[in-house]
Amino acid sequence: MFSWLSPKSRLLRVLGLTVETVSSEWGRKLGVSNLAGVVITAVEPNSPADGSGLAAGDIIREMNRQRIRTAEDYKKVIKTFKSGEDLLVLIEREGSAIYVAMKIP
């Protein structure tokens, strides 16, 4: 599990997300067969993620059109963005694909 609230990276910390790679156990819990992506396990209140409507249980499939298959992918991709940039996140929520936009502080 990766907590983006740790001091390792400012960008990871400021988004306010905790994510895990979608495992077969998560797949069963969430009712999904596509295990590519990361599941949001926690959202920090008043964070950019919270403000954009991301919620625990959402599965992140893409960020700015880059596929996210694992928590390591997520970490690598998010580190390429800079403060002030727009971020477009494709999530799966209850079987529906939804795009969520946020600005990186």
Please state the domain extents for the chain: 2-103
What SS3 class is residue 97? strand
Contact 20/75 with Cβ under 8 angstroms? no
- Summarised one tens digit per residue, pLDDT across range 11-59 is 556 688 889 999 899 888 888 988 899 999 999 999 999 999 999 999 9
Listed in sequence order, the residues at least 6 apart from 98 whose beta carbon sits closer than 8 Å to its beta carbon are 90, 91, 92
Contact 102/48 with Cβ under 8 angstroms? yes
- CATH node for 2-103: 2.30.42.10
Listed in sequence order, the residues at least 6 apart from 10 whose beta carbon sits closer than 8 Å to its beta carbon are none
The reported pTM is 0.84
Give me the pLDDT at residue 8, please.
42
